[in-house]
Amino acid sequence: MELPALISRILLGVIFIVYGANGFFRFGHTVPFATPIAREYMTVMLATPYGHILFGLQIACGLLLIASVFVPLSLTILAGYIFNIYMFHIFLDPSKSLSTVAVTVFWVLTFVRYRPAFRVLLHSRSPVR
Protein backbone atom coordinates (compact mmCIF):
# COMPACT_ATOMS: atom_id res chain seq x y z
CA MET A 1 0.00 0.00 0.00
CA GLU A 2 3.02 2.28 0.30
CA LEU A 3 3.72 2.57 -3.43
CA PRO A 4 0.14 3.36 -4.53
CA ALA A 5 -0.12 5.96 -1.77
CA LEU A 6 3.18 7.53 -2.80
CA ILE A 7 2.19 7.66 -6.46
CA SER A 8 -1.28 9.04 -5.67
CA ARG A 9 0.17 11.70 -3.32
CA ILE A 10 2.58 12.90 -5.99
CA LEU A 11 -0.04 12.82 -8.75
CA LEU A 12 -2.51 14.68 -6.54
CA GLY A 13 0.14 17.31 -5.83
CA VAL A 14 1.00 17.70 -9.51
CA ILE A 15 -2.67 17.98 -10.49
CA PHE A 16 -3.36 20.75 -7.99
CA ILE A 17 -0.14 22.59 -8.88
CA VAL A 18 -1.03 22.50 -12.58
CA TYR A 19 -4.66 23.53 -12.10
CA GLY A 20 -3.68 26.24 -9.61
CA ALA A 21 -1.03 27.60 -11.97
CA ASN A 22 -3.52 27.46 -14.82
CA GLY A 23 -5.74 29.77 -12.79
CA PHE A 24 -2.97 32.37 -12.83
CA PHE A 25 -1.39 31.92 -16.25
CA ARG A 26 -4.20 30.28 -18.29
CA PHE A 27 -1.84 28.06 -20.27
CA GLY A 28 -4.14 25.04 -20.49
CA HIS A 29 -6.87 24.43 -23.00
CA THR A 30 -10.16 25.54 -21.53
CA VAL A 31 -13.37 23.83 -22.56
CA PRO A 32 -16.36 26.16 -22.72
CA PHE A 33 -18.83 25.51 -19.93
CA ALA A 34 -22.27 24.17 -20.77
CA THR A 35 -24.22 26.85 -18.88
CA PRO A 36 -23.91 30.63 -18.84
CA ILE A 37 -23.90 30.71 -15.05
CA ALA A 38 -20.85 28.41 -14.94
CA ARG A 39 -19.03 30.71 -17.39
CA GLU A 40 -19.96 33.74 -15.29
CA TYR A 41 -18.80 32.04 -12.09
CA MET A 42 -15.40 31.17 -13.57
CA THR A 43 -15.02 34.64 -15.09
CA VAL A 44 -15.49 36.21 -11.68
CA MET A 45 -13.17 33.65 -10.10
CA LEU A 46 -10.38 34.39 -12.59
CA ALA A 47 -10.76 38.17 -12.42
CA THR A 48 -10.82 38.76 -8.66
CA PRO A 49 -8.44 38.34 -5.72
CA TYR A 50 -10.78 35.63 -4.42
CA GLY A 51 -9.69 33.38 -7.27
CA HIS A 52 -6.03 34.29 -6.76
CA ILE A 53 -6.20 33.16 -3.15
CA LEU A 54 -7.91 29.90 -4.08
CA PHE A 55 -5.48 29.13 -6.91
CA GLY A 56 -2.50 30.05 -4.71
CA LEU A 57 -3.73 27.73 -1.98
CA GLN A 58 -4.05 24.92 -4.52
CA ILE A 59 -0.43 25.44 -5.55
CA ALA A 60 0.71 25.56 -1.92
CA CYS A 61 -1.12 22.34 -1.02
CA GLY A 62 0.21 20.62 -4.13
CA LEU A 63 3.77 21.61 -3.24
CA LEU A 64 3.29 20.39 0.34
CA LEU A 65 2.02 17.04 -0.95
CA ILE A 66 4.98 16.58 -3.27
CA ALA A 67 7.41 17.59 -0.52
CA SER A 68 5.60 15.23 1.90
CA VAL A 69 5.29 18.03 4.46
CA PHE A 70 2.02 18.73 6.31
CA VAL A 71 0.26 16.08 4.22
CA PRO A 72 -2.77 15.73 6.57
CA LEU A 73 -3.27 19.51 6.52
CA SER A 74 -3.04 19.57 2.73
CA LEU A 75 -5.49 16.68 2.43
CA THR A 76 -7.93 18.44 4.72
CA ILE A 77 -7.80 21.65 2.67
CA LEU A 78 -8.00 19.79 -0.64
CA ALA A 79 -11.04 17.81 0.57
CA GLY A 80 -12.91 21.11 0.57
CA TYR A 81 -11.70 21.83 -2.95
CA ILE A 82 -12.79 18.42 -4.18
CA PHE A 83 -16.20 18.87 -2.57
CA ASN A 84 -16.59 22.25 -4.28
CA ILE A 85 -15.53 20.76 -7.63
CA TYR A 86 -18.31 18.18 -7.29
CA MET A 87 -20.83 20.87 -6.32
CA PHE A 88 -19.77 22.98 -9.32
CA HIS A 89 -20.29 20.06 -11.69
CA ILE A 90 -23.57 19.00 -10.10
CA PHE A 91 -25.24 22.42 -9.91
CA LEU A 92 -23.51 24.75 -12.38
CA ASP A 93 -21.97 22.65 -15.14
CA PRO A 94 -23.57 19.21 -15.25
CA SER A 95 -20.95 17.52 -17.35
CA LYS A 96 -19.18 14.25 -16.81
CA SER A 97 -15.73 14.99 -15.46
CA LEU A 98 -13.42 12.00 -15.33
CA SER A 99 -10.65 14.13 -13.82
CA THR A 100 -12.79 14.80 -10.74
CA VAL A 101 -13.20 11.07 -10.15
CA ALA A 102 -9.45 10.52 -10.64
CA VAL A 103 -8.63 13.29 -8.14
CA THR A 104 -11.01 11.69 -5.65
CA VAL A 105 -9.37 8.28 -6.07
CA PHE A 106 -5.90 9.81 -5.57
CA TRP A 107 -7.15 11.70 -2.49
CA VAL A 108 -8.64 8.54 -0.96
CA LEU A 109 -5.50 6.48 -1.58
CA THR A 110 -3.38 9.17 0.04
CA PHE A 111 -5.85 9.57 2.91
CA VAL A 112 -5.75 5.84 3.68
CA ARG A 113 -1.98 6.04 4.07
CA TYR A 114 -2.23 9.01 6.47
CA ARG A 115 -5.42 7.89 8.23
CA PRO A 116 -3.83 7.63 11.69
CA ALA A 117 -3.15 11.39 11.61
CA PHE A 118 -6.90 11.99 11.20
CA ARG A 119 -7.97 9.73 14.06
CA VAL A 120 -8.01 12.57 16.56
CA LEU A 121 -10.53 14.45 14.41
CA LEU A 122 -13.03 11.64 14.74
CA HIS A 123 -13.09 11.47 18.54
CA SER A 124 -16.36 12.53 20.14
CA ARG A 125 -14.51 14.10 23.03
CA SER A 126 -11.36 16.13 22.86
CA PRO A 127 -8.28 14.40 24.34
CA VAL A 128 -7.23 17.78 25.79
CA ARG A 129 -9.10 18.81 28.94
Residue 129 pLDDT exceeds 70: no
Residue 127 pLDDT exceeds 70: no
What does the alpha-carbon distance between residue 112 and residue 98 come to, in Å, rounded to a whole number? 21
Handedness of CA 117, 104, 37, 17 (dihedral sign): positive
What does the alpha-carbon distance between residue 57 and residue 78 come to, in Å, rounded to a whole number? 9
Q: Which amino acid is at 65?
A: L
Q: Where do the structural domains in the chain lie, given as residue ranges?
A: 2-122
DSSP-derived 3-state class of residue 29: coil
Neighbouring C-beta atoms of residue 28, cutoff 10 Å: 11
pLDDT of residue 80: 96
The pLDDT tens digits for 76-122 are 999 999 999 999 988 988 877 788 899 999 999 999 999 999 888 77
Does residue 34 or residue 62 have the better pLDDT?
A: 62
The pLDDT tens digits for 3-22 are 999 999 999 999 999 999 99
Contact between 45 and 51 (Cβ < 8 Å): yes
Q: Which residues contact 69 (CB under 8 A, 6 or more apart)?
A: none
